Amino acid sequence: MKLRIALILIAVVLIIAAVPLYVYSSYPYSSSEEEAILEENVIEPMPFRPPRFLVGSVIYGSTREVVSIRGPMVEHYDDHLLIKFGGNKRGLLLLAPSYVETSTNKVVLGEHLAELISRGGDLTVKVVAFTTRRGSYAIVVEVVKDGERYIMAPQRR
């Protein structure tokens, strides 16, 4: 009888813990800023703010890579910008609402950097590329142009 109860307990613990632990350990790393940008651009528009697990499910089913692009190739598609990265891949270019210039602490808007990137030329863009079931997305985390380095400003939700 004791053996039966022990076996039942082991089975219960396995049923409870196996999948959640696997999900937690295999979840790809992503910062809260990246999550916020993906939530805004990939999941919304929704009639309500999506619950966090919906955001998590989009990120969980994705691959994440950090790519540095020198002289980025950007294409306009309707109101959106597409950027080429990693060979022939193409993703929707996403920017945070604001960025900070590291030496002067000057804050610039994401739109300003989008213009800068779309003009091309001698600049380096570091993006975090997510390939999800809904498509590929390149989130700009850093832009370097003429010695000025812009990084993503922390966002408040």
Binding site for other proteins (CB under 8 A): 8, 11-12, 15-20, 23-24, 27, 30, 32, 35, 47-49, 51-53, 55-57, 59-60, 157
Minimum distance, C-beta of residue 73 to other proteins, in the bound complex (Å): 28
Helices and strands counted in the chain (H then E): 4, 9
Helices (H), 1-151: 2-26, 32-38, 52-60, 110-119
Amino acid at 93: L
Least gap, CB of 56 to other proteins (angstroms): 3
Closest to other proteins by CB, 49 vs 119, is: 49
Q: Shortest distance, CB of residue 62 to other proteins, whole angstroms?
A: 12
Residue type, 40: E
